[in-house]
Amino acid sequence: MGEVEQVPVWRLSEGDKKRVQDIVAREFPLTIILNNQELVTLLCTPSHLDYLAVGFLSSEGLLRSRDEIKKITVDEKTGVVRVDTSEEIKKADQLLFKRLITSGCGRGASFYSAADVMGQKKVESKTTLSSDEILELAREFQHRSQIFKTTGGVHSAALCDNEKILIFSEDIGRHNAIDKILGECLMQDVATNGRIILTSGRVSSEILIKAAKRNIAILVSKSAPTDMGVKLADELGITLIGFVRGKRMNVYANDWRVVDHG
């Protein structure tokens, strides 16, 4: 499936009107069915739908390891991913649905719940990195953001170690881009412990919760954090770096992981 679409457009510029072809990001409704129960419909970029579904389920606490997955089927035509899991975690569905009904779901907020924060352990990783390494990763990240360059309409995310990008993804949703990465890690057995996530998007509370669940040590964004993002990063032991632009950056929490030997 294409991730972008050509559309005819009128380009107006100082009295001039021209018919040109523009490229826009596709927006695809993906329904996730977990153990025969319809769970959610996400609007997403149609790529790596299996990773997105698995990443979403893992971020929501409904899936912990690859071993729990009995079967995944992706139907691109109908926009449905079916995930069947082992018996033990079926009960978890009930929990999610309860949350859906009692605390609802925030828009852009996933299934926001205070319980997500309260029950979350602190990230204990000893990982450190230098500001030069951060800038180098940010440069490579910028370089890889292909769909954004053509459409201006998507977010990117990446999993990195100190030297390089290990996994990269793009999606119209900033949450989806990160879930695609976390899903790929889970399905391909890529470790997330103590590693780094880069994101093009704003860093709000839910992003911190996703990261903490996978023991991510460092979050790096081109954009701004919210106050709650900063507070959670501090409490959850995650190093939060924002506004990486040119040769500058802001370190909002747990700056001890940024070590410059100069």
The catalytic residues are 105
- C-alpha–C-alpha distance, residues 238 and 183, integer Å: 20
Contact between 228 and a second copy per CB under 8 A: yes
Contact between 76 and a second copy per CB under 8 A: no
CB of 206 to a second copy, least distance (A): 8
Binding residues for a second copy restricted to 21-60, rule: CB under 8 A: 22, 24-27, 29, 31-32, 38-43
- C-alpha–C-alpha distance, residues 39 and 14, integer Å: 49
Size of the site for a second copy (CB under 8 A): 70
| Binding span for a second copy by CB under 8 A among 12-20, 70-78, 87-95, 185-193 | 12-20
On whether the CB atoms of residues 1 and 18 are closer than 8 A, the answer is no
The structure tokens listed for 81 are 């991913």
Burial category of 70 from C-beta neighbours within 10 Å (exposed 0-12, middle 13-18, buried 19 and up): exposed
Q: Which residues contact 42 (CB under 8 A, 6 or more apart)?
A: 29, 30, 32, 52, 56, 173, 176
Residue with tokens 């954009």: 223
Which of 125, 153, 162, 190 is the binder for a second copy (CB under 8 A)? 153
Q: Which residues bind a second copy (CB under 8 A)?
A: 4-5, 7, 9-15, 17, 22, 24-27, 29, 31-32, 38-43, 97, 100-110, 112, 114, 131, 151-153, 172-173, 175-176, 202, 204-206, 223-230, 243, 247-252, 255, 258, 260, 262
